[in-house]
Amino acid sequence: MEDRECAAVSVRDLHKYYDHGLVKALNGVSFEVKEGKFLSLMGPSGCGKSTLFNLIGALDMPTAGDVLIYGRNITSYRPWSAFRTSTIGFVFQLSHLIPHMSLRENAELPMYSLRVPKRQRREKAEQLLASVGLKDRMNSLPARVSGGERQRAAIARALVNGPRIILADEPTGSVDSRTGGMILDFLVEYCRDRKVTMLIATHNHEIAARADSIIFMEDGQLK
């Protein structure tokens, strides 16, 4: 059973090595994030931010150390694919939409593995797309909309299963400042209204300033 009194995310002495230990992407990282809080993770490119997110989101295994979600070691969530689908919402710098599918069809994708009925999938996807300002674009292909619209569709896709934790890796890095501000406003309001925990990796000091707390990384360690 999950312990709701524990932190939503706890990282304990986390290490991740590549090339037989020659590359130390993470080297003893520890921190925690309480439920419903917004943490900003800052640091130069290559410092380990994306690697850390991959471990928290169960996309990769640590070399050593532990990731706990609500007090439960992430290795005990099986299968990991089900855990990711129902618990974690990923937002990346690039939208990674399927090019031959409409924005609505892309937003529906995470619901297939949960066997959500077709009508419910469509209604939920349309509701979220409308909430990010894409009501009139949801039947368009990704190539037919702007980069900002693609990113907003990707956010709708990330939220469609109601995740309790959002991992956003440079979510505004590929859009202009105005669009980036709109995206951040939406994410912050969404998370605070629903007590969703959000971790954002960013180079943007204005984004970081809106977080409840900030941690800095350099060379795979916290500064």
Percent of the chain exceeding pLDDT 90 equals 66
What integer is the mean pLDDT of 153-172? 92
Query: For tokens 């090339």, what's the residue?
Result: 19
- Give a yes or no: residue 191 inside a domain: yes
Number of structural domains the chain divides into: 1
Asked whether 152 and 180 are in contact (CB, 8 A), the reply is no
Tell whether 113 is covered by a domain: no
Q: CB-hemisphere CA count at 13 Å for 125?
A: 24
Taking every pair of C-alpha atoms in the chain, what is the biggest distance, in angstroms? 51
- pLDDT for res 80: 80
Query: Which domain range does residue 60 map to?
Result: 9-96+163-222
Q: Is pLDDT at 24 greater than 50 in this prediction?
A: yes
- Between helix 147-159 and helix 118-131 the angle, nearest 10°, is 130
Span 139-149, pLDDT tens digits: 999 999 999 99
So what's the pLDDT on residue 92?
86
Average per-residue pLDDT for the chain: 90
Residue 137 lies in a domain: no
> Is there a domain that residue 125 lies in?
no
Predicted local distance difference test score (pLDDT) of residue 1 = 46
Check pLDDT > 50 for residue 58: yes
How far apart CA 184 and CA 62 sit, in angstroms, is 30
Residue 68 has pLDDT above 90, yes or no: yes
pLDDT band at 137 (very low <50, low <70, confident <90, very high): very high
Confidence (pLDDT) at 2 = 52
What are phi and psi for residue 193, nearest 5 degrees? -65, -35
In a domain, 72, yes or no: yes
Residue 188, in any domain of the structure = yes
Determine, yes or no, domain membership for 201: yes
Model pLDDT, residue 4: 53
DSSP character string of the chain: ---TTS-SEEEEEEEEEETTTTEEEEEEEEEEE-TT-EEEEE--TTSSHHHHHHHHTTSS--SEEEEEETTEEGGGSSSHHHHHHHHEEEE-SS----TTS-HHHHHHHHHHTTT--HHHHHHHHHHHHHHTT-TTTTTS-GGGS-HHHHHHHHHHHHHTT--SEEEEESTTTTS-HHHHHHHHHHHHHHHHHHT-EEEEEES-HHHHHTSSEEEEEETTEE-
Tell me if 86 is assigned to some domain.
yes
What tokens does 208 get?
Answer: 């970081």
Q: Residue 33 is part of a domain; what is its CATH number?
A: 3.40.50.300
